[in-house]
């Protein structure tokens, strides 16, 4: 395994253990309910209360709400921990094993079902279309929008809902412009000729003059659809911290802005059938970059670990949160990133 996958696996394991222990501690701390219904309420309420409090603190520190998918592992781990804690009190180990197995089975089934639903012909068809029209597409700054509009163009044979069509479009766009390795999550070979030809578009595509921001934007959008643990702002933040720690490109608030823009774009394009349809209408018209990414981002970058500590102290500090608030305010001005609001 590569070092970043080891880092990710370790982070997920630690997160699971942490929330599991919190749940177990809470389960043993609460006064045991005298009725079966009361115990069910305890099992249902305690995990969400703990995770909710943790996410509230996290939101205050980061300056924005986390993506809901990031709550899956904490909630499930905490849920199992609460069951274990209550089982210790009531000495119901057999019941605990049965319930834990059922919960694990349901979660695994949902995850497998979610991934299998993405294994459709739509993503492949969009990549094939992208490759076929590639020679006619512009280059540089205009290619960013051209790729997005091409992947979102309606497929006449598609029988999927508007949300699912947008999901496959974002996945195809993420594979082509973000990271070709995303192909494996939709059942495609990352080393196939189709994927390699599509991924060649990432060379020479710019966003506000930056060659790395399109990759950040598209990759984060695709991860938000796949619902992989490295999703969205959490994954983007981890990447920026690792860059600073390993003396890579440095910590970049601009990169985080591109990550957040990608996540918000995916949310706006798939939040509901109405918002999905509106996003398609927006992309069928004249592409306006200002609707998808701010024109001016006055953000400090790149920052080494030492620079970051000197200027911001740590992630979650007051000065750090002010920069995050600045990013969110800039993204709020982009109309396409708020399409979902009218769809709720």
| Residue of 130, 136, 121, 135 whose CA lies nearest to 218 | 130
Residues 6+ away with beta carbon under 8 Å from 323: 253, 299, 300, 312
- Domain of 32, in residue numbers: 3-117
Domain boundary among 75, 98, 117: 117
Domain boundary among 88, 117, 146: 117
For residue 109, pLDDT beyond 50:
no
My answer on whether 107 and 161 are in the same domain is no
Highest mean pLDDT of the ranges 46-60, 73-87, 286-300, 310-324: 286-300
Domain boundary among 82, 117, 152: 117
Least confident of 104-118, 124-138, 169-183, 301-315: 104-118
What tens digit of pLDDT does each residue of 246-280 get?
345 567 888 889 989 998 999 999 988 999 999 99
Could you give the CA distance from residue 221 to residue 37 in angstroms, rounded to a whole number? 42
What tens digit of pLDDT does each residue of 22-58 get?
777 776 777 767 777 777 777 677 767 776 776 676 5
pLDDT at 18: 79
pLDDT at 118: 45
pLDDT tier at 339, thresholds 50, 70, 90: low
What tens digit of pLDDT does each residue of 129-170 get?
999 998 888 988 899 999 999 999 988 776 678 888 999 999
Could you give the CA distance from residue 134 to residue 67 in angstroms, rounded to a whole number? 33
| Residue of 226, 191, 274 whose CA lies nearest to 117 | 226
My answer on whether 146 and 267 are in the same domain is yes
My answer on whether 188 and 103 are in the same domain is no
Of residues 96 and 211, more confidently modeled: 211
My answer on whether 137 and 105 are in the same domain is no
My answer on whether 55 and 193 are in the same domain is no
My answer on whether 92 and 13 are in the same domain is yes
Over pLDDT 70: what percentage of the chain? 69
DSSP state of 207: B
pLDDT tier at 294, thresholds 50, 70, 90: very high
Per-residue pLDDT averaged across 86-96, rounded?
58
Over pLDDT 90: what percentage of the chain? 28
Is residue 280 left, alpha or beta, with left meaning phi > 0 and alpha meaning psi from -120 to 50?
Answer: alpha
My answer on whether 206 and 314 are in the same domain is yes
pLDDT at 139: 84
pLDDT at 108: 45
CA 226 to chain centre: 8
CB 311 within 8 A of CB 300: yes
My answer on whether 136 and 69 are in the same domain is no
CB 293 within 8 A of CB 217: yes
Give the C-alpha distances (Å, rounded to integers) separating 191 from 147, 215, 221: 21, 18, 21
What tens digit of pLDDT does each residue of 216-257 get?
999 889 888 876 433 344 344 444 444 443 345 567 888 889
Beta bridge pairs of residue 303: 251
Most distant pair of Cα atoms in the chain: their distance: 71
My answer on whether 99 and 163 are in the same domain is no
Q: If you search the block for the tokens 């809470």, which residue do you land on? A: 26
Helices (H), the chain: 3-29, 36-62, 72-90, 93-117, 121-133, 141-152, 162-173, 193-199, 213-226, 232-245, 253-270, 273-284, 305-312, 318-332
Number of domains the chain is built from: 2
My answer on whether 13 and 127 are in the same domain is no
Could you give the CA distance from residue 176 to residue 219 in angstroms, rounded to a whole number? 9
My answer on whether 62 and 133 are in the same domain is no
pLDDT at 333: 92
Could you give the CA distance from residue 254 to residue 191 in angstroms, rounded to a whole number? 30
My answer on whether 94 and 64 are in the same domain is yes
């Amino acid at each position: 395994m590569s070092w970043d996958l080891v880092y990710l696996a370790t982070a997920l394991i630690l997160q699971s253990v942490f929330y599991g222990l919190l749940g177990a501690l809470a389960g043993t701390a609460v006064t045991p309910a005298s009725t079966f219904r009361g115990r069910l309420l305890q099992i249902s309420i305690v995990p969400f209360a703990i995770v909710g409090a943790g996410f509230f603190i996290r939101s205050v520190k980061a300056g924005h709400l986390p993506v809901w998918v990031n709550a899956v592992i904490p909630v499930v781990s905490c849920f199992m921990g609460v069951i274990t804690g209550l089982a210790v009190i009531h000495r119901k180990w057999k019941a605990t094993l049965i319930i834990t197995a059922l919960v694990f089975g349901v979660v695994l089934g949902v995850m497998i079902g979610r991934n299998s639903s993405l294994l459709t012909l739509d993503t492949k068809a969009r990549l094939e279309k992208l490759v076929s029209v590639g020679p006619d597409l512009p280059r540089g700054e205009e290619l960013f929008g051209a790729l997005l509009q091409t992947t979102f163009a309606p497929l006449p044979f598609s029988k999927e809902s508007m949300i699912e069509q947008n999901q496959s479009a974002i996945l195809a766009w993420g594979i082509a412009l973000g990271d070709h390795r995303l192909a494996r999550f939709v059942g495609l070979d990352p080393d196939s000729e189709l994927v390699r030809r599509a991924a060649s578009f990432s060379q020479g595509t710019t966003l506000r003059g930056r060659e790395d921001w399109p990759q950040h934007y598209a990759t984060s959008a695709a991860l938000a659809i796949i619902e992989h643990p490295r999703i969205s702002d959490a994954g983007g933040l981890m990447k920026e911290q690792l860059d600073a720690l390993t003396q890579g490109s440095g910590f970049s608030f601009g990169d985080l802005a591109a990550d957040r823009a990608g996540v918000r774009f995916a949310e706006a394009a798939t939040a509901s059938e109405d918002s999905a349809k509106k996003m398609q209408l927006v992309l069928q018209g004249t592409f306006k970059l200002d609707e998808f990414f701010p024109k001016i981002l006055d953000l400090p970058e790149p920052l080494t670990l030492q620079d970051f500590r000197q200027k911001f102290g740590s992630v979650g500090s007051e000065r750090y949160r002010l920069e995050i608030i600045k990013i969110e305010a800039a993204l709020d001005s982009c109309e396409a990133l708020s399409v979902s609001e009218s769809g709720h």
